[in-house]
Structure 1
Amino acid sequence: MRQKRILWPVLAFLALWLAACTGRATTQPQTGEIVTAFIGDLTASASATGQVVSPRTAALAVSQPGRVTNLYVQVGDSVQAGDPLVQLETAQLELNLAAARQNLRLQEANLTALAEPPHAADVTAAQANVASAQASLDELRAGPSPAQLAVYSATLALSEASVYAASAQYQSVANSVSQVQIQQAEAAVAAAQANLDRAREINQENTNQQTHQAMLAAEESLANAQAQLDNLRRIDTSAAQGSLAAASARLDGAEADFGRNTGGATAVQIAAAEAQLAQAQATLADLLAEPTEAAWQTAVAQVEQARLSVADAEDALAKATVRAPFDGVVTAVHTNIGEVASGIVVEMMDAGNLEVVVPVDEIDIGAIDVGQTAVVTLETWPDVEIASQVAHIAPSAANNASLVTYDVYLRLGETDLPARVGMTANVQLITSQREGVLLVPNRAIQVNRATGAYTVNRVNGDTTTQVPVTIGLRDGQYTQITGGLSAGDQVMIGNETPRVTFGPGQ
């Protein structure tokens, strides 16, 4: 029991000592900088370096090869959206458009005609064709009438008479000159030639006026005899032969017609007449019938196809003029007047709304959002800050084997600086902001690396107390205090040697 009475006072003393140790730890005043916790604004940022770029670029190509007739721009020219840049020849394209429009009018007319009732004249003509075809078929089936037989017989008899007459004419012409007459004329020519030969010999042996006149008379006699013989030989029987041949051909035709028309129609003739009647009846039925749904749909489809062809032709003609898709500046021209252009002909960029692109490390990219503000300075003018804003962030990492980064695009704010594409830009990306928060310098905060706890040396008169604090946002100079201090509290920056005292206030 005595041992227990001695143990209780010892335990009580130890308890008091531990309580004192867990109370306030104070230090003696030491040399150091005293700062005051204050309410202020805090901004955290990430730095990056990039380049000025154009938000829009365009490599403008012709839709199909063509000869350049006009070139409206050169490198450095400013253009407005819709301005013509390059003009290709359009003659064939205009012809294509005219043909497409003509075809559209034709198809529309066909559709209109399909919807309208047939013209009375067309119906009358179709009915007449049916009646004529029916009459022809009926005649074939019934055979010739007595009157028709009489006509066919008379035609045959007339053809026979023509042959007889042509034959008689031929015989008359052929018999008008006999062989005896021709022989007598030939003998007269031979006698005249002999007389001329003797007259020439006599004149040659003893030339005088009398012998010379005799020779001339012999020559004239020979000429007359020869002329008479030639006249007899020129009598032509070819005309009579032609007339006879023609009459014979007409007789053959008349005999064939007589046999065909009087012998009854053949099966082939009746079938042909029936087919002709069926065709005429079908044509009339088509005129009188309402258009079928299939015919209507076909006509509508043909009109629509013609409209598409017109649209295609109009589009091709429009594309023969290469136009600026947006306001900007021409950066390259790849063709000349007279050349056959194909592929890219003009390059341009939007120089009015420049952006800055910077690679941001994957560690920091999570703190960057679209719309986030930033400050940009250009290497050319490093002392001038330009307000900017995150426009968009690349969805995939840049192709960099050594480091994973994402391209962040910032839209430059208003500035009087003549910024140009390609300039180097330094960017401070504002990752977070706090307004009206409690701040202390970063140097006033101490961290326990083992536990991760943060403390500050709060000044209490001529002593300091190490108190735990919780922190929030921080930048390169200040840290937000979220717990453990109040505005106006003073903290010591520097090294102190703690002196432990027992009991509060000591």
Structure 2
Amino acid sequence: MRRALIILVVLAVLIGGSFVIYRYTSQAKEPPAPDYETIAVEEGNLISTVSATGSIEPEDEVALLFRGASRVAEVLVKEGDQVTADEVLARLDTTDISLAMAQAETNLAISQAQLEKLKTPPADVEIAAAQAAVTSAEAAAASARVALESAQASYNDLVSGPTADEQQAAQATLERARIVRDQAQAAYDQVANQPNIAMLPQSAQLQQATVDYETAAANYRITTAKPKASQLAAARAQIEQAKASVAQADASLANAQSSLDRLQRGPEEQDLAIAEAQVRQSELAIAQSRLNETNSELVSPISGVATSVNVGIGELPPTGQPAVVVTDLSRFHLDILVDEIDIGKLSEGQAVNVTLDAMPEAVISGHIDRISPTPVSSAGITSYKVTVVVDETSAPLRSGLSATASIITDELRDIVLAPNRAIQVDRSSGRAFVEKIVNGIPTNTEVQLGARNELYSQILSGVEPGDD
């Protein structure tokens, strides 16, 4: 009796099982006889692969943006141009940057000079000049105090009025002047009839005696009179002015003394720290200007092709998109998602065959470059991202092409094989079965499976080579 492995029109092979439908030849009155398709069990080779799809992407692509806000002065490339690493692709206007640099350099020179001046010991002539300034300020302060004392004394005299001695002296002076005037008058009267009276000494003596008397009378009235409000106000004003002069003189003296002390003592630590900080601040301003100058140039960090140019001369740099995109079209990769069941079969460096939907006849070699340690979960399925680097090829690769990566995970030779469509797997127990015709009757026979791929499974027991 020949043993036969039956495939009864397998419509689908499911994960964990399959199902079978029998075809019958229709008869009008007699029961239909089943129509069986038999397949001989043979030895062969089994290649296990893991396949997944992804999109071809360049291995290296950079989107370059300007960091400055000036208008574009030069655009040195257009889309499709080849560029090399460190090549300048575009420049911004640097007028404002140059002005800021000049200002920063000037500020640095000033702050450095101020710091050096602080650190340099004073010359003898500087100390001598400072000492002379102190001496002069001391003299001015003393003079101001004398003036204040004089103004105060005058005010006090005005308020208190003349003493009795002063009044007696003024009266005595007035009396003497009256006597002298009367004597001069008497002498004048004796020669008054002379025709040349105006030329005689008695005339001049009377005139002088009269003036002296009137002066003495005026002094007496002043001495004995009470001070007026305007006089008191003027005296008080002189006192206030004298006080202000004293305060100003004292301040000048304090400043002069402070300057001398500072020269003799040397710079304060705080002053040195401030001066050094100002130097550092100026240096940072220069560094910032240089950085702005560097950032005014758009430089490609890689060699490749300018695949996008979004700037024009006179325009402001675009916001929300790169000014220039440079792509290395010599190296490509694709990212695929591999089920957790298969990820353990893969390793970095493993060979990969890549086929393109646009060029199905071309098979491009590659290798696994990276396997992500972090899982990706979607719809209850756990996968891992695997990056496949495509080897150099003459095929015209383009970014975004759909591709399939096939990775050989196992290769067995001279083993018993059965097509997956002929195998049924019980979901609950995990046991596998095939249909064999024994004595013309399909018999459900358990088999033990080994390795498998998309089409075939290894049969470890249950059927033998030559069975059909």
TM range, smaller chain: 0.5 to 0.7
Listed as ranges, the matches of 1:41-52 within 5 Å are 43-52=47-56
* Structure 1 letter corresponding to 2:120: E
Separation in 2 of the partners of 1:69 and 1:418? Answer: 36
1:286 and 2:259 are equivalent in the alignment: no
Q: Does the 8 Å CA contact 1:440/1:478 hold for their aligned counterparts? A: no
Partner of 1:80: 84
1:336 and 2:312 are equivalent in the alignment: yes
Secondary structure of 1:287's partner? helix
- Structure 1 residue 276, shift from structure 2 partner: 0.5
Aligned with 2:325 (options 337, 347, 350): 347
Partner of 1:112: 116
Aligned with 2:464 (options 474, 491, 505): 491
Q: Does the 8 Å CA contact 1:374/1:390 hold for their aligned counterparts? A: yes
Listed as ranges, the matches of 1:55-66 within 5 Å are 55-66=59-70
1:428 and 2:432 are equivalent in the alignment: no
1:100 and 2:104 are equivalent in the alignment: yes
Partner of 2:72: 68
Q: Does the 8 Å CA contact 2:310/2:318 hold for their aligned counterparts? A: no
Partner of 1:247: none
Separation in 1 of the partners of 2:239 and 2:109? Answer: 55
Partner of 2:295: 319
Listed as ranges, the matches of 1:21-60 within 5 Å are 30=3, 33=40, 35=42, 43-60=47-64
* Structure 2 letter corresponding to 1:424: S
- Over 3 Å counting, the alpha-carbon distance change for 1:276 and 1:388 in structure 2 is same
Q: Does the 8 Å CA contact 2:41/2:464 hold for their aligned counterparts? A: yes
- Over 3 Å counting, the alpha-carbon distance change for 1:95 and 1:401 in structure 2 is farther
Aligned length, in residue pairs: 334
1:265-305 Cα shifts (integer Å, max 9, x gaps) = 93322222111110011112222324333333323322222
Q: Does the 8 Å CA contact 2:41/2:418 hold for their aligned counterparts? A: no
Separation in 1 of the partners of 2:448 and 2:279? Answer: 79
Flag the structure with higher strand content.
2
1:266 and 2:239 are equivalent in the alignment: no
- Structure 1 residue 69, shift from structure 2 partner: 2.4
Separation in 2 of the partners of 1:110 and 1:470? Answer: 93
Separation in 2 of the partners of 1:345 and 1:446? Answer: 59
- Structure 1 residue 332, shift from structure 2 partner: 2.0
Q: Does the 8 Å CA contact 1:370/1:390 hold for their aligned counterparts? A: yes
Q: Does the 8 Å CA contact 2:375/2:382 hold for their aligned counterparts? A: no
Separation in 2 of the partners of 1:81 and 1:105? Answer: 37
Listed as ranges, the matches of 1:90-489 within 5 Å are 90-141=94-145, 266-343=242-319, 344-358=322-336, 360=338, 371-392=349-370, 397=376, 408-430=386-408, 432-433=409-410, 439-443=415-419, 449=426, 451-453=429-431, 472-476=450-454
Separation in 2 of the partners of 1:312 and 1:409? Answer: 40
- Structure 1 residue 365, shift from structure 2 partner: 5.9
Q: Does the 8 Å CA contact 1:467/1:484 hold for their aligned counterparts? A: no
1:384-403 Cα shifts (integer Å, max 9, x gaps) = 322223344675759x8899
* Structure 2 letter corresponding to 1:322: L
Separation in 2 of the partners of 1:447 and 1:493? Answer: 20
- Structure 1 residue 411, shift from structure 2 partner: 1.2
* Structure 1 letter corresponding to 2:274: T
Q: Does the 8 Å CA contact 1:59/1:346 hold for their aligned counterparts? A: yes
Separation in 1 of the partners of 2:144 and 2:240? Answer: 7
Separation in 2 of the partners of 1:106 and 1:113? Answer: 11
Identity %, equivalent residues: 30
1:449-506 Cα shifts (integer Å, max 9, x gaps) = 37545699xxxxxxxxx9998655432466568x879xxxx933546xxxxxxxxxxx
Q: Does the 8 Å CA contact 1:438/1:480 hold for their aligned counterparts? A: no
Secondary structure of 1:74's partner? coil
- Structure 1 residue 407, shift from structure 2 partner: 5.6
Secondary structure of 2:52's partner? strand
Separation in 2 of the partners of 1:82 and 1:307? Answer: 27
* Structure 1 letter corresponding to 2:255: Q
* Structure 2 spans left out of the alignment, 5+ residues: 6-39, 149-234, 435-443
- Over 3 Å counting, the alpha-carbon distance change for 1:402 and 1:31 in structure 2 is closer
* Structure 1 letter corresponding to 2:326: M
Secondary structure of 2:122's partner? coil
Q: Does the 8 Å CA contact 2:416/2:465 hold for their aligned counterparts? A: no
Flag the structure with higher helix content.
1
- Structure 1 residue 348, shift from structure 2 partner: 2.5
TM-score, length-scaled by structure 2: 0.59
Partner of 2:206: none
Secondary structure of 2:396's partner? coil
* Structure 1 letter corresponding to 2:121: P
Secondary structure of 1:389's partner? strand
Q: Does the 8 Å CA contact 1:54/1:349 hold for their aligned counterparts? A: yes
* Structure 2 letter corresponding to 1:123: I
Separation in 2 of the partners of 1:62 and 1:79? Answer: 18
Q: Does the 8 Å CA contact 2:89/2:299 hold for their aligned counterparts? A: yes
1:418-453 Cα shifts (integer Å, max 9, x gaps) = 3122223222144x346x788432459977737545
1:100-132 Cα shifts (integer Å, max 9, x gaps) = 122223223333333332333332322221121
Q: Does the 8 Å CA contact 2:302/2:326 hold for their aligned counterparts? A: no
- Structure 1 residue 143, shift from structure 2 partner: 6.2
Q: Does the 8 Å CA contact 1:143/1:264 hold for their aligned counterparts? A: no
Q: Does the 8 Å CA contact 1:60/1:345 hold for their aligned counterparts? A: yes
Q: Does the 8 Å CA contact 2:111/2:282 hold for their aligned counterparts? A: yes
Separation in 2 of the partners of 1:269 and 1:469? Answer: 122
Q: Does the 8 Å CA contact 1:66/1:342 hold for their aligned counterparts? A: no
Q: Does the 8 Å CA contact 1:439/1:478 hold for their aligned counterparts? A: no
Q: Does the 8 Å CA contact 1:67/1:341 hold for their aligned counterparts? A: yes
- Over 3 Å counting, the alpha-carbon distance change for 1:264 and 1:48 in structure 2 is closer
Separation in 2 of the partners of 1:479 and 1:289? Answer: 98
